[in-house]
């Protein structure tokens, strides 16, 4: 596939066929605990999308221009997690300074993001799959968007379920996991639409 | 230190304080490899190693870490042990390393490791923290091993790569696909919680 189309294919694959949450189980902790309300889910999802797209791009640059030349690839876990943590802290300070509304909308989610496995996962996948810079950026962006779609759908379903009668043992995480299972099945319907190696 | 204290610390995460059932912590990085028993075993051993030793290390250092930067220090300690696991796996077991892919690195963000450090190792002595970390890792491991057992058996009719069920068995391919992991964990949590509630209501 050519250089322009491949990043776009990866982007759509990351949103639909290879959804990072529903096929790789990444970012489950915050997915299960935050998806009670539609609005907070949207806030967290947008923050995740933004951070994932930018940190994947930054990590690509650092990995290929700093770690590979000095043969320090094995340090990537530490370096990636520090970059993510530092970047999240930076974003928090910037939006606190310039936009109070945005800070109150997104600010509380930012600390949660550092420990979201999906963010680190996207960076690690990018290294293993040997993506180019553009592809990595689109992959990070698409994965974040896929995560946003999944958590929004989940929050919508859970709001409807609030009045339903659920067996005592299944109430809470159990039912959420079953919903996630059905959503994963629904997303499997996209399989074959795009195939990337 | 009383032996009873160690025993209590060791048994709690295996039973009523199990990190998976009670807090649904840390399933992110490992659920993805539960479609094969062998992969799950290697992965959970990695988690046990990391949880136990990073709890111990932090507990040794706990009096000298300023509380403002403790998160950063904790992450560093965890990442160090994860790198050891990753390098060891790559050197001695390269096929498994390839199959596990990014999931070994994702042990860093596994909430159990950080959770035990924050909740236990910061206040307790090194030996006790080591026991607590190891037990939490084990409580986590057996849940995932049970899930992997059923997923592999029902999904491919094999266990640890060996054919167990005969040719009469039709593979439930949904079990080894992503939805199977969600359903198995949900059913497991359901059964355990139902049993706990029944005991509580008596």
Q: Which residues of B touch A180 (CB under 8 A)?
A: 182
* Closest A-chain CA to B187: A174
Structural domain boundaries, residue B82: 3-201
Which residues in chain B have Cβ-Cβ distances shorter than 8 Å to A118? 28
What is the predicted pLDDT for the residue at B23? 65
CB A120 to CB B109 under 8 A? yes
Residue A197 confidence (pLDDT) = 52
Q: Tens digit of pLDDT for each residue in B67-83? A: 878 888 888 899 999 99
- Which helix (H) or strand (E) covers residue B162, if one does? strand B162-163
Residue A50 lies in a domain: yes
Least confident residue range of A49-58, A61-70, B6-15, B167-176: B6-15
Residue A54 belongs to domain spanning? 5-188
Query: Does A128 contact chain B (CB < 8 Å)?
Result: yes
- The SS3 call for residue B1 is coil
Place of tokens 């959503």: A183
List the single residue in B102, B114, B191 with the smallest CB-CB distance to A121: B102
Q: Can you count the helices (H) and strands (E) in chain A?
A: 9, 0
The Cα–Cα gap between B55 and B65 comes to 14
CB contact A112 to B (< 8 Å)? no
Pick the residue from chain B with its C-alpha nearest to A181: B179
ipTM field = 0.84
Nearest Cβ partner for A128 among B102, B181, B194: B102
pLDDT interval class at A1 (50, 70, 90): low
139-158 in A: which are within 8 Å (CB) of B?
Answer: none
The DSSP letter of residue B163 is: E
Q: Which two tokens stand for residue A17?
A: 């066929």
Quick check: B123 and B129 in contact, CB under 8 A? Answer: no
Partners of B158 in beta bridges? B163
Reply yes or no on whether the pLDDT at A3 is more than 80. no
Contact in structure between B59 and B125 (CB atoms under 8 Å): yes
- Residue A38 CA: distances (Å) to CA of A19, A135, A149, B71, B141: 20, 31, 11, 30, 33
Task: Give Cβ neighbours of residue B152 (< 8 Å, ≥ 6 apart).
Answer: B35, B36, B37, B158, B159, B160, B176
Give A157-175 pLDDT, tens digit per residue: 988 888 888 887 787 788 8
Residue B97's closest CA among B175, B38, B149? B38
In a domain, A17, yes or no: yes
B178/chain A closest Cα distance in angstroms: 5
pLDDT band at A182; cut points 50, 70, 90: very high
Give the residue on B whose Cα is nearest the Cα of A174: B186
Has residue A197 been placed in a domain?
no
The reported pLDDT for the residue numbered A2 is 67
**Which one, of A96, A120, A109, lies nearest residue A46 by Cα?**
A109
pLDDT at B89: 92
pLDDT attached to residue B49: 94
**φ and ψ at residue B163, rounded to 5 degrees:** -70, 125
Structure tokens at A182: 């059905």
Least confident residue range of A78-87, A176-185, B192-201:
B192-201
Asked whether the predicted pLDDT for residue A61 surpasses 90, the reply is yes
pLDDT at position A21 over 80? yes
Closest CA of chain B from A31, distance in Å: 10
Best B21, B39, B86, B190 member to test A by mutation, with max A CBs in 10 Å, is B190
CA distance B24 to chain A (A): 7
Please tell me whether residue B24 adopts helix, strand or coil conformation: coil
CB A52 within 8 A of CB A119: yes
Q: Which of B86, B106, B195 sits opposite A121 (nearest CB)?
A: B106
Q: What is the pLDDT of residue A52?
A: 92
| Mutation for testing the B interface, residue in A72, A77, A147 having most B CBs under 10 Å | A77
Domain count, chain B: 1
Q: What is the pLDDT of residues A114-160, one digit of tens each?
A: 777 888 889 999 998 888 999 999 999 999 999 999 999 999 998 88
H-type alpha helices, chain B? 3-11, 19-23, 28-31, 37-61, 70-92, 94-100, 111-116, 126-156, 173-176, 178-201
CB contact under 8 Å between A184 and B182, yes or no, is yes
- Written as tens digits, the pLDDT of chain B (202 aa) is 567 777 777 777 776 677 777 666 667 767 888 888 888 999 999 999 999 999 999 999 988 888 878 888 888 899 999 999 999 999 999 999 888 888 888 888 887 888 888 888 888 889 999 998 999 888 888 888 998 999 988 888 888 888 888 788 888 888 888 888 889 888 888 888 888 767 766 5
Sequence-distant (≥ 6) Cβ neighbours of residue B68 within 8 angstroms: none
Total domains in the fold of chain A: 1
Environment class of B65 (CB within 10 Å of its CB; exposed 0-12, middle 13-18, buried 19+)? middle
Nearest to B108 among A81, A118, A178 (CB): A81
Cα-based angle A68, A74, A79 (whole degrees, multiple of 5): 80
**Cβ atoms of residues B169 and B157 within 8 Å:** yes
Is A96 within the bounds of a domain?
yes
| A79 and chain B in contact, CB less than 8 A | no
């Amino acid at each position: 596939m050519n250089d322009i189309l491949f990043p776009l294919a990866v982007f759509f694959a990351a949103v639909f066929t290879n959804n990072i949450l529903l096929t790789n189980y990444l970012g489950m902790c915050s997915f299960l605990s935050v998806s009670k309300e539609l609005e907070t889910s949207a806030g967290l999802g947008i923050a995740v999308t933004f951070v994932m797209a930018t940190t994947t791009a930054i990590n690509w640059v650092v990995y290929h221009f700093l770690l590979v030349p000095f043969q320090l690839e094995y340090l990537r876990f530490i370096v990636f997690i520090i970059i993510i943590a530092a970047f999240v802290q930076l974003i928090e300070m910037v939006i606190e300074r310039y936009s109070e509304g945005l800070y109150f909308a997104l600010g509380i989610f930012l600390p949660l993001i550092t420990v979201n496995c999906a963010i680190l996962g996207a960076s690690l996948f990018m290294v293993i799959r040997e993506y180019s810079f553009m592809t990595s950026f689109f992959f990070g962006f698409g994965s974040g968007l896929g995560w946003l779609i999944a958590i929004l759908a989940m929050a919508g379903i859970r709001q409807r379920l609030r009045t339903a009668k659920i067996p005592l043992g299944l109430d809470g995480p159990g039912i959420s996991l079953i919903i996630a299972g059905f959503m994963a099945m629904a997303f499997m319907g996209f399989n074959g639409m795009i195939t990337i190696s | 230190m009383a032996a009873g204290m160690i025993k209590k610390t060791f048994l709690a995460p295996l039973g009523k304080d199990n990190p998976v059932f009670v807090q649904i912590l840390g399933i992110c990085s490992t659920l993805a490899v539960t479609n094969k028993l062998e992969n799950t075993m290697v992965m959970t051993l990695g988690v046990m190693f990391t949880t136990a030793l990073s709890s111990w290390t932090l507990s040794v250092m706990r009096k000298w870490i300023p509380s403002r930067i403790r998160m950063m220090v904790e992450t560093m300690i965890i990442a160090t042990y994860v790198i050891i696991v990753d390098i060891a796996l790559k050197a001695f077991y390269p096929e498994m390393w390839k199959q596990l892919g990014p999931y070994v690195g994702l042990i860093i963000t596994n909430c159990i490791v950080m959770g035990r450090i924050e909740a236990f190792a910061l206040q307790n002595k090194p030996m006790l923290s080591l026991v607590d970390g190891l037990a939490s890792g084990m409580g986590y491991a057996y849940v995932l091993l049970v899930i992997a057992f059923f997923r592999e058996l029902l999904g491919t009719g094999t266990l640890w790569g060996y054919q167990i069920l005969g040719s009469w068995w039709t593979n439930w391919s949904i079990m080894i696909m992503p939805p199977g992991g969600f359903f198995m964990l949900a059913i497991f949590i359901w059964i355990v919680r139902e049993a706990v509630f029944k005991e509580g209501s008596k």
